[in-house]
Amino acid sequence: MAIRHKSVETKFYEDRERVLRALRNCDRRTFLKLTAATMGAVMAKGLMPPHTFQLVEVADAAVTKGWDSAGAQGSTPFRFAYISDAHLYERTLNQRFVRGIVKAVDDVNALDPQPDFVLYGGDLAQLGSPAQLELGRQILSGVKAPIKMMVGEHDWFLDLGEKWQELFGPPTYSFDWKGVHVVVLQSVYEKDFWSARKMTPQERMQTVAGLDNGIQSRFEVGAAQRAWLTKNLAKVPATTPLLVFSHSPLYKYYRNWNFWTDDAEQVQAILRPYHQVTVIHGHTHQMLFNQIGNISFYGMLSTAWPWPYAPEGLPPLTIQMNRADPFDQFDGCGDGQFTARADGLVDTIYNLWDRNPVTVKASYLVSRGKVDRPPAPQFASY
């Protein structure tokens, strides 16, 4: 987050506006609690007006959970972190991938100050087995900050999400955080390719797990979930910043590897009325960014292995990360941190292990690459 100087007056009026906005949106009970908290804090600090509005920190915290974003214009800056694509086998079979996700957990636990939450971006398991998912949950339980879960295709296609949902709840949900409306999607549904072929659940899972396996269908959000999204956003005004998490990119990058969501255009259309939209996805295991209309996309790193850039379809704004060194397990892998800014846009830090981190500012994407261009790689893909 950029530190900018603000005059006392500016801060005062910003704080005042936030408190009034919060008060407008809270019910009577919350209002009473809020008032009591404010009064209590006033007493405790011995403060008198015109300093009262400094106590907005208290007021803001009190209403966060029941935030109704109607009328919201901006948001309070906050930070969150991202871990994704651990692809765990059972611990006895494979220690390599365990080392990766444990390293990421250490990273986010070392952040000071701590992020508001950590989003896990999907593909916790390699082949979706209960043992793999439970191992993942056990490792992620070591994360100090609150963790939000998203599902990936490697978690889903053994039992079509049964175990994952038992452990982590519904794969589609939303919440509001400091003025930002956050949506988590299940973007890796596939049309039934397995029944006609009489595949076992294991065969179905193995097929989906093969990135270049052309037998499987393409990912999709699906009509039902799109209807859910439309309904979910019905009460959210266009001025509210949106933060959407999906496992697959919500655009079409490379069909053969399912770097792709088949109904991406329809999902983008639902998000189009909003002024600030950020979509953060996993799955592609590489530094990847794109801007389509009002939507900024960030593709995040895996903790297990990097993927080469696809032979075609790379979004023109993407700056490739350096080619990974196969002799270094952690090279090309990593995790991420984000700052949701006051203007509702999101700055991204790619925390590439064993390399310098790369910061991608929202202004780079929103300006279509005109400003804040990240450094070019020394060694691109072949």
Partner 1 sequence: MKSQPKLIAAAILSAVTAGAIVGIWTIYPYARAGATDAYAQSAPTHTLPPAKHGGVIVALCDGVTHTEVTGLKPGQPMSHAQALAVTSGLMAEWQRTHPGEKWVMAQAGEPSAAAEAAAPGAAQAPKLKSQQGDTYASFHNRDYKIWQAETDAFVEQGNQIFHSAKLLGGTIGVSCDMCHPNAANTHPETYPKYQEQLQKVALLRDMINWCIENPVKGKTLDPNDPKLRALEAYILAQRKGTPLDYGKH
The residue ranges that bind partner 1 (CB under 8 A) are: 89, 93-96, 126, 210-213, 256-257, 305-308, 310-311, 323, 325-327, 329, 381-382
Our measurement of the distance from residue 22's CA atom to the centroid of its chain's CA atoms, rounded to an integer in Å, reads: 25
- Considering only CA atoms, which of 175, 153, 173 is closest in space to residue 164? 153
Measured CA angle at 299 (ends 90, 229), to 5 deg:
95
| Residue whose CB is less far from partner 1, 40 or 311 | 311
Find the shortest distance in angstroms from Cβ 254 to partner 1: 10
Cα within 13 Å of Cα(316), Cβ side = 4
Q: Give min distance, CB of 335 to partner 1, in A.
A: 19
- Of the pair 217, 256, the CB lying nearest partner 1 is at 256
User: Please, which residue, 38 or 302, has the CB nearer to partner 1?
Assistant: 302
List CB contacts of 3: < 8 A, sequence separation 6 or more: none
Q: CA-CA distance, 290 to 317, in Å (whole number)?
A: 6
Q: Cα-atom radius of gyration of the chain, to the nearest Å?
A: 22
Smaller CB separation from partner 1, 15 or 85:
85
Number of residues that make up the chain = 382
Give the nearer residue to partner 1 in terms of CB position, either 245 or 260.
Answer: 260
CB of 245 to partner 1, least distance (A): 24
Nearer residue to partner 1 within complex by CB, 129 or 337 = 129
CB of 99 to partner 1, least distance (A): 12
Residue 245 or 307: which CB sits closer to partner 1? Answer: 307
Q: Which residues, in sequence order, are CB contacts of 62 under 8 Å at separation 6+?
A: 30, 33, 34, 37
Minimum distance between the CB of residue 155 and partner 1, rounded to whole angstroms?
Answer: 16
Q: Closest by alpha carbon to 124, among 97, 103, 143, 144?
A: 97
Minimal distance in Å, beta carbon 380 to partner 1?
Answer: 11
Token readout for 1 is 């987050």
Shortest Cβ 86–partner 1 spacing (Å) = 13
| Long-range Cβ contact pairs of 198-202 (< 8 A, separation 24 or more) | 201/157, 201/158, 201/159, 202/127, 202/158
Toward partner 1, which CB reaches closer, 259 or 350?
259
- Per the CB < 8 A criterion, the answer to whether 62 and 45 are in contact is no
Phi and psi at residue 364, in whole multiples of 5°?
-60, -45
**Minimal distance, residue 214 CB to partner 1, in Å:** 10
Please state the closest distance from residue 149 (CB atom) to partner 1, in A: 23
Measured from the CB atom, the residue of 209 and 271 that comes closer to partner 1 is: 209
Supply the minimum distance, in Å, between the C-beta of residue 255 and partner 1.
12
User: Of 125 and 360, which has the nearer Cβ to partner 1?
Assistant: 125
